[in-house]
Amino acid sequence: MRYITALDLLEETVNKYPEKTAVVCEADSVTYSAFYGEIRKLAAGLFKALKGRTGLPVILFLDKGIPCLEFMYAVVMSGNIYVPMDVKTPSDRVKKIVRTSGSVIAVTDSKGKSLFEAMDFQGEVFLYEDLRETEMDPDAESALSLIRENIIDTDIMYLLFTSGSTGEPKGVAVRHRSVVDYIEAFIEDTGISEEDVAGNQTPFYADMSLKDLMVLYKGGTLVIIPQKYFMTPKKLLQYLDDNNVTTIMWVPTAYRLVSQFDGLSKVTPKSLRRFVFSGESMPLPVVKYWMGFYPLRENEYIQNYGPTEITGACASHHITEKDMEKGILPIGKPYRNTGIILMDDEGNIVEKPGTSGENTEGEICVYGSCLAAGYYNDRESTDRSFVSFPGRESVKDLMYRTGDLGRYDENGDIVFISRIDSQVKHGGKRIELGEIESAAVKADGVKACCCVHLKEKDELVMLYTGDIDEKAFKAALSEYLPKYMIPVRYIVLSELPMLPNGKLDRKSMEKIAAEDGD
């Protein structure tokens, strides 16, 4: 069967495992048949509310939970584009997203409706509670079937908004084809099956949550973890254990939270066996901590890589004992049906190992079906980031410039170095903050760290968690770095600030460093 949308894969699972538990969220749970039935009911309600209109961006302003997940699929079934948002989003950013997406439709609860009314939203606001009361009648059934028949795989499935350098959010528009391609590649790489239970950490407005949904296409169970549990590692791990979670696919910051408070020594979930991480660099000490309780020889650790613009992930590497000995975790090789090249400053493709260019760094560039359609209603940003593939000018063959620096190792795996925009000029020399951080996490006693550059003072500052003192920290860094790359100030924190998506909040840490030095 040829799959056009993710719904095609989900329907296969529903037909195969109708009474199996699909999703759990604390005391609430739903079987596959009930889950899909609710999706159809919501899709019918949305179809009637929109009077049959399709192709519209629909803002989902709902808390993370089963209802939000159901509505994501319902929007797809109604032939529209879902736009998930954080319910804590400030009204100014909501206005910017509304303006950028051109959305005139929002689905929310009574609390969210008040926010939209307060900001003078000119579109239509529908209450989730009202839409779920819709009855599926023959007319709605027929209309939804016709809509499904007319969806093609190049239609847009969702918009995810990222931060823009200009202060305007950028809406990454992803096609059905890219999502289906990602689902098939990810499942093939990880081996997720109907026996798995995935513990969801990432909010549904972040692309990493797509990984958690993979289990639904194989007949496993998705356990939604409320954000409050990540504030108390012991309760978090107990929740995983109570729900027999086998697989977690978290950002490194979430893994680090557990290691920072030595949570696994208090509760060690018995069913865990697969650990996937991506979104930012994974500190080696954190991996070693988890392997102390879940040895590598008996469990699976997988490093993923990929920005929002390439639909979740485009590269993968299964961690080996050799990686741990070397102290380097590659981001790996591209998924099936995905291409990755490294491009140097001159626009030339960096050669793989075995040639003269094997040690050359380059910008990671991705091409293939995984590419997003671009930034919604933003042709200028799209043309800047989605560019012609070098050497293929005879046709319009695009690739995405990630803004990430990488290099090849001796096996042809790509090793992430840093963000290009994390390059700073310090003491007249161009340096990579990521290189400093990579050296820092090798020091005993360092649990997590972030190096920032204060431009006005031309000062490198290290913020970190751990029990190492400044003198010992500097000594450890001097083993790996030249003197000009060693930070002059060190700030120990109880925890590093995080963004809502679980990544490090570097801007907040720059502010902390600046205030500490005044």
Residue 257 contacts residue 219 (beta carbons within 8 Å): no
Sorting pLDDT into bands at 50, 70 and 90, what band is 391? confident
Q: Where are the alpha helices (DSSP H) in 164-301?
A: 176-190, 209-213, 233-242, 252-260, 284-293
Instruction: Say whether pLDDT at 46 is over 80.
Output: yes
Is 297 in a helix, a strand, or coil? Answer: coil
Which of 237, 239, 238 minimizes the C-alpha distance to 24? 239
Sorting pLDDT into bands at 50, 70 and 90, what band is 27? very high
* Model pLDDT, residue 260: 85
Instruction: Say whether pLDDT at 356 is over 50.
Output: no
Q: Where are the beta strands (DSSP E) in 285-438?
A: 300-305, 315-318, 333-334, 338-343, 362-368, 374-375, 386-388, 398-408, 414-419, 423-426, 429-432
* Mean pLDDT computed over 57-86: 96
Higher pLDDT, 401 or 279: 401
Domain 6-174+190-224 fold is: Rossmann fold (3.40.50)
Residue type, 326: K
Tokens of 229: 């549990």
Each residue's pLDDT tens digit, 58-70: 999 999 999 999 9
Domain 427-517 is of which CATH architecture? 2-Layer Sandwich (3.30)
DSSP track, 432-493 = EHHHHHHHHTTSTTEEEEEEEEETTTTEEEEEEEES--HHHHHHHHHTTS-GGGS-SEEEE-
* Model pLDDT, residue 514: 92
Higher pLDDT, 289 or 251: 289
Instruction: Say whether pLDDT at 355 is over 60.
Output: no
* Model pLDDT, residue 483: 84
* Model pLDDT, residue 389: 87
DSSP track, 28-41 = EEEEHHHHHHHHHH
Instruction: Say whether pLDDT at 429 is over 80.
Output: no
Sorting pLDDT into bands at 50, 70 and 90, what band is 346? confident
Query: What Rg value do the Cα atoms of the chain yield, rounded?
Result: 23
Q: Domains of the chain: which residue ranges?
A: 6-174+190-224, 427-517
* Model pLDDT, residue 58: 97
* Model pLDDT, residue 109: 92
Each residue's pLDDT tens digit, 288-311: 999 999 999 999 999 999 999 999
Instruction: Say whether pLDDT at 268 is over 70.
Output: yes
Sorting pLDDT into bands at 50, 70 and 90, what band is 163? low
Instruction: Return the minimum-mean-pLDDT range out of 140-144, 350-354, 491-495, 509-513.
Output: 350-354
pLDDT > 70: percent of the chain = 96
Instruction: Say whether pLDDT at 75 is over 80.
Output: yes
